């Protein structure tokens, strides 16, 4: 490919990474600290871009130059922020999650695939006690957050950011067409976490445990309602008037990871869960295409239980409910 054509291809690729309502020319001009005219000339290939400018653009749009140049280096570049007790900001974590979803929603063509070894975190935000417990567990046990080291569950209060930003997260997520693949083990980690804290004396009141389990049961029932209609909608509301945008698969074999694939037509992005709270992210074409094939293979070996297959759908959700009700009883 000629140098000019390669540069134009580079900018076309970058343009696919921003929402349609954002001015691409102005975005480039602001980033490179140049005029809009100079930005236009670079985009059209009339003025060469420097290595320093390429570095800035790749860092901003979080892409690999190997990917742009179609270099077969037999490697895949991932990026992501690794969270720990020193750098974790709970509210910022939620806002970043919402920003990722809003970017996906802004694409002309989009579908999100989610292989759910654990419950997708977006669903928690409609059930305040359950969401409060999950994030308390992550901060106390996963991150060893100092402020939570000697804290009992009843003394925690993460409900304000959950109610504020969490509600925006779920409102955005229900608008994104998605495919979720669950197994009857998808709720197991949440149950194990509750039981671990019960046995460790982290709960002061038995009633606190029951409230969390009741929220988990409400979440399962709500997922079932969405699967029945094939529509994502807010808990307590009606699916009427919403487009069908939810496919749920029941996998009886094994789901190894919490993996997300976002297919935006001209580009794909893969998010791989790592260390509970972290996500490794890549837009490497070969890796994303291979991940899509893996999802297709998993779906072929799973049962579609949304909008069809009522008997199998009832069997699946009955399995989940029995696990929760056994703990409540």
pLDDT at position 74, please? Answer: 65
Ordered alpha helix ranges (H), 62-89: 65-69
pLDDT at position 261, please? Answer: 96
Residue 317: strand, helix, or coil = helix
pLDDT at position 72, please? Answer: 54
Domain 3-69 top-level CATH class: mainly alpha
Q: Rounded to an integer, what is the distance from CA 110 to the centroid of its chain?
A: 14
Token reading at 315: 């069997």
Tell me if the pTM is above 0.85: no
Going from the C-alpha of 210 to that of each of 9, 98, 155, 317, 320, the distances in angstroms are 57, 29, 17, 20, 16
pLDDT at position 323, please? Answer: 96
CATH 1.10.260.40 in the chain, residues? 3-69
Residue 93: strand, helix, or coil = helix
Q: What's the rounded Cα separation, in Å, for the pair 7 and 198?
A: 59
pLDDT at position 16, please? Answer: 72
Are 241 and 230 in contact, with CB atoms under 8 Å apart?
Answer: no
Token reading at 241: 């008037």
What does the DSSP 8-state code read for residue 155?
A: G
pLDDT profile of the chain (329 residues), mean per 10: 75 75 86 89 88 84 65 65 72 87 89 95 92 89 83 81 86 96 95 95 93 97 96 91 90 84 88 80 87 94 93 96 94
Q: What's the rounded Cα separation, in Å, for the pair 281 and 261?
A: 10
């Amino acid at each position: 490919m000629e140098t000019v054509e390669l540069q134009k291809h580079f900018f076309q690729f970058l343009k696919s990474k921003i929402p349609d309502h954002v001015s691409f020319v102005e975005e480039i001009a602001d980033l490179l600290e140049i005029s809009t005219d100079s930005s236009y000339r670079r985009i059209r290939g009339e003025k060469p871009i420097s290595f320093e400018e390429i570095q800035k653009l790749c860092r901003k749009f979080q892409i690999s130059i190997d990917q742009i140049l179609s270099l077969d280096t037999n490697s895949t570049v991932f990026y992501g922020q690794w969270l720990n007790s020193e750098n974790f900001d709970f509210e910022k974590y939620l806002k970043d999650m919402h920003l990722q979803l809003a970017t996906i929603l802004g694409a002309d063509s989009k579908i999100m695939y989610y292989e759910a070894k654990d419950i997708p975190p977006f669903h928690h935000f409609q059930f305040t006690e359950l969401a409060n417990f999950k994030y308390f567990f992550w901060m106390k046990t996963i991150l060893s957050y100092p402020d939570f080291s000697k804290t009992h569950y009843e003394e925690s209060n993460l409900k304000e950011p959950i109610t504020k930003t969490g509600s925006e997260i779920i409102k955005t997520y229900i608008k994104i067409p998605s495919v979720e693949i669950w197994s009857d083990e998808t709720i197991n980690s949440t149950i194990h976490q509750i039981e671990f804290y019960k046995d460790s004396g982290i709960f002061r009141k038995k009633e606190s445990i029951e409230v969390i389990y009741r929220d988990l049961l409400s979440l399962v029932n709500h997922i079932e309602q969405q699967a029945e209609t094939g529509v994502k909608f807010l808990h307590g509301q009606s699916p009427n008037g919403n487009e069908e945008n939810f496919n749920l698969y029941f996998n009886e074999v094994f789901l190894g990871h919490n993996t997300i694939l976002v297919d935006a037509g001209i580009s794909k992005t893969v998010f791989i869960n790592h260390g509970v709270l972290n996500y490794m992210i890549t837009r490497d074409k070969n890796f994303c295409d291979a991940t899509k094939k893996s999802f297709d293979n998993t779906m072929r070996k799973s049962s579609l239980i949304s909008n069809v297959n009522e008997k199998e759908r009832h069997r699946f959700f009955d399995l989940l409910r029995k696990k929760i009700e056994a703990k409540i009883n």
